Chain A
Amino acid sequence: MSRSGLEHAAVGSRRISAGRLARIIVMVAVAVAFVIPIVGFIALAFRSQSGLESGHDGFLGLAGMSWDNAVYSWSQITGFGPGDGGLFQRWMLNSVIVSVGGAALALIAALPAGYAFARLRFRFRKTFLFATLLAMVMPNTVLVIPIFLEVNALGAIGQLWPVAVIMAFFPFGVYLAYIHFMTTMPHELVEAARIDGLGEVKTFFLIGLPLSKQAIALVAFFSFVANWTNFFLPLALLTSNQQNKTISIGIQELIGASPLFNATVAAGLDVKLYLPQLALATVISMVPLLAMFLGAQRFLIRGQTVGALKG
C-alpha cells in the first residue's frame, strides 16, 4: 500500500530534485541515441542514391524521402537474380516456409514436453531437463558445423526441410512450456484427472492443452523470431542453392552485389543496389517480424516474467 507513496517521496516526484532531473536526462538521451539511427535507416529506404550523393537531403535525410524512390528501389531489388530476377520474393517465401514450419514443429514438440517435465515424474526427468536447460543457454551457432556434417552425410544440403527440422529443436520453447505448466496447472488438477481415470496423454490433451493459449503464443513468437533472424544455419546449409536461400542470407548476397562493396560483381548486373535499396530490402524483410510482434503483443506483456529469462 505504502510503496507508491514512499517512492514518490524518495525519488521526489513532487519536487524537481537534481537526482531526478539527471535520471530523466540520461534516460531520454539514451532513448534519442537509440531512435536516431532507426529513423535515419527507415528514411534511407525512401531516399535515392542521387539524393544521398547530393548531400541535400537534410537532417537524417528526411527531406529526401519519397514514394517514387521506394518504387524504384523495389524494382531494383526484385530485378535481382537470373532472368527477370525475383530472387528476393523467393527468399522471403523460403523464410516463411522454414520459419513457420520450424515454429509449428517446435510447438508440437515443446508443449507436451514442457507438460511432461512440469507435471509428470519419470526416470531421467532431471537429466533430460538439465540437458534441455544447457542446450537453451548455449549459443546455437556452436552446433552449426556439426549439423552441417550431419545433413551433408544425409545428402540434404541445399534443401529447405532439414533447416526447418533443425529450427524446430527449440529448448527455450520447452522451458517456456515447462514454466507455464508449473505456474498455471496445479498438481491437484492432474491428480483429479487421474482419479477420474484419464491417462497421462489424455490429461495433457483434454486439460493441459486448453490451458496453454499463453504458452502457445510465446513459443510460437520466440521460435518464429529466432528462425527468421537465424543466419549461420541457413548460411551453412543453403548457400550452395541460390533458389533456396532464406532472406537473411539473401540480403547478404545483395550486399555482396552492391557496387559499394564489390564493383566487379555489380558491373555485371542490370540492377544497382546502393544503400537505399539495401535499406528498403532490410525494412521489407522485417515486416513479418513486426506482424508477429503485433499479433503476440498482448501475450508478451502478460507473460513478461516468464519470457524475461532469455535474451
Chain B
Amino acid sequence: MSQTIEMSQTEAIVTAGRSRARRAGRSRAETFGAWVLLTPYSILFLVGAAIPIGYALVISLQKAPTLVNPESGFGGLQSFVTVVNDYRFWSTFVNIFTVLIVWLPIMLIGIVGLALLIHASRGRFAASMRFIYYIPGALAGIANFVLWVYLIDPVQSPIAFLWQAIGADTYKEVITPGNMPFIITGMLFFQGVGTWIVVVNGGLNGISDDVLDAAMIDGANAWQVAWQVKLPLIAPWVGYAALMNVAYGFQLFLEPYLLRQISSGSVVNEWAPTQLAYAFAFTNRNFPAAAAMSIILLLITLAIGMIIVTRSGLFGDERAERKGRRK
C-alpha cells in the first residue's frame, strides 16, 4: 500500500516537472493547433450536452403555460415544486431502489464470480466461455426486450415452468408491480453481465504474474488466490462497475416503458423517473416540469459520475501514461 503511494508521488513529481517545463515552452501555435483539432468535437459537445443542459435550466425556471394563461415567463423554482409534489415523484424513485436492491448484488456477484472463474481457466475453454457470456450483450435494447417478450410468455417460454409455478397464465399476470424488479433484473443481467465480465477481466489481466506466482509459492490454493489476492486488486474495477450500474439504474427507461406496453395496464405508465420526465414532456406538454425533472436526474447521475471519474483511479493522464509504458 505505502509502496503504491510512493510510486504515485514520484510519478506526480515527474509529471509536474514535465508539465512545468512544457508549460514554459508552450507556444501559441500549440494552443491554436489544439483548438483547431478540437473544433468539430467542441461543436458537438455544445450541441449534444452544454446547450441542452443550459436550455433545460432556463426552461425549468419558467412558468408552465396554462389554457387560461398561455403566457410563460419567469417562474422561479415553481416547476421544481410541481415535480417534487407530483404524486408519482417519490414512487418512481422507490421503484428504482427496489430494482437496485435486487439487481445490483446479483449483477456484481455474477460479474466478479464469472470473471474470476474465467481468469482461473485457460486457453480455448476460457475464451469460448467469455465469448458465450458476451453474446447476449449484442442483443442490446429493443432486441433484448423482444427476446424477453418470448421469455416471459407463460406458454412458449423455455422458463414457462417458472411462470406457471407462480400461477401466471398471461402476460398480464407475469408482469405485475411485484414482479417488475425481478423481470427487469433478469433483462439487465442477461444483457449486461458479459460486457462487464470483459471489463473486470481487463483488470485481472493487469495483475502481474509475479504476484500470483508468489501467492502460489506461499501455498495458496486457487480459491485463496482468487479471494485474497485477485479480488482486492480488482476492487477499483468492481467499484467502477457498481457505480456505473447505479447510474444506469436511475435512467432506466426502455424496460419499464415497453413492459407497460405489453402488460395490458397492470403496471403504471410512470414507473421510472425518466418515464415521469417523458410524461411531463409528451403527455402533459408541461415543458418546465419536464426540464425540472431532467435537471434532478442529471444532478443525481452527475454526482455519481464525479465519484467515478475522480475516485475510481481508472481515469486521467497518469493512468493513460502508465498504460502506454506497459505496452
Residues of A within 8 A of B (CB): 2-4, 6-7, 9-13, 19, 23-24, 26-28, 30-31, 34-38, 40-41, 44, 52, 55, 60-61, 105-106, 108-110, 112-113, 115-116, 118, 120-123, 125, 128-135, 137-139, 141-150, 153, 165-166, 168-169, 171, 174, 178-179, 182-184, 199-201, 203-204, 225, 229-232, 236, 248-249, 251-252, 255-256, 260-261, 275, 278-279, 281-282, 285-286, 289-290, 293, 304-305, 308-311
Contact = CB atoms under 8 A, between A and B. Distances in A.
Contacts of B268: none
B33 A201 contact: yes
26 contacts: A7-B216, A12-B222, A106-B44, A109-B41, A110-B41, A112-B37, A113-B40, A121-B22, A125-B34, A133-B309, A137-B305, A139-B250, A141-B251, A142-B298, A143-B52, A146-B53, A146-B291, A150-B55, A199-B33, A231-B254, A251-B146, A255-B146, A261-B171, A279-B146, A285-B142, A305-B202
A311 B33 contact: no
A58 B196 CA distance: 35
Interface in B79-134: 114, 117-118, 120-122, 125, 129, 132-133
Contacts of A286: 138-139, 143
B192 interface: yes
Interface centre among B291, B293, B315, B323 (most CB of A within 10 A): B315
Nearest to A246: B142
Given A34-B133, A308-B199, A123 B321 contact: no
Contacts of A249: 142
B213 interface: yes
A82 to B, nearest CB: 22
Interface in B26-75: 26, 29-38, 40-45, 47-49, 51-53, 55-56, 59
> Main SS of chain B's interface residues?
helix
Contacts of B223: 19
Interface residues of B, number: 117
Interface string B242-260: 0010011011011000100
B243 to A, nearest CB: 8
A308 B201 contact: yes
Interface string B208-244: 0100110011001111010000000000000001001
- 5 nearest A-B residue pairs (beta carbon): A200-B33, A169-B48, A308-B202, A146-B52, A113-B41
A296 to B, nearest CB: 12
B162 interface: no
A168 B147 contact: no
Given A178-B320, A199-B29, A256-B261, A229 B140 contact: yes
Given A52-B156, A311-B244, A282 B53 contact: no
A200 B36 contact: yes
Nearest to A13: B122
B63 to A, nearest CB: 15
Contacts of B291: 145-146, 149
Interface string B183-195: 0000000101011
Nearest to A226: B140
